[in-house]
Structure 1
Amino acid sequence: MWALWFSRNKLILFVDTCLTLILKHPNPSAMVRWPPPPPSWVKMNVDASYSISNQKAASSIIIQDKMGQIMGSCFRIHNLFSSVFMVEVVAILHGL
């Protein structure tokens, strides 16, 4: 009985430790915030993804001013590229 009780307690401690590590949220003050661009500039953020199963890529662009106001945005599906890098390059050129 003691061996079962001891094993049970070790299992509970292990699960509790794992859950604490997995569910630990980052400190909000340590999170990266969106830094605004300088006055009279805009900031363009680009992201891309590629689906191997569909053999299609997608990209999105968002352009914001120093106040965070959206000045423009775009979402595109790409059939010609099989590289996320190339899709991001094309998205940057499109945004410019």
Structure 2
Amino acid sequence: MHARADTIPAPRAARRSRGLLLDAGFADVTVEVRTAVFTGTAMLPMLQGLARAAGAAGAITSEQADAWCAEQAGRAAADRLFLAVPMFVAAGSAR
């Protein structure tokens, strides 16, 4: 996961969103989590990117990454892929 996070400009921004809003002077800051669920092929590129990043970081071999990607593609083709992605939503009131 760290290898994938390192490919994103601000991978920990969601964790900091509440504090950033408070620091910017917002009041009544809240944070909610929403979870998107994907079951088709649309998210295969993201999953493949995760596997490739893990391989590039040396966490797994390229053969393991390829096998895992093939397994996920097979799951998607058989309508058996299940991916849950949490998204954080932060809001506040301007003072």
Question: TM-score scaled to structure 1, two decimals?
Answer: 0.22
Q: Which has the higher contact order (CA 8 A, sep 6+)?
A: 2
Higher helix proportion: 2
Q: Which has the larger radius of gyration?
A: 1
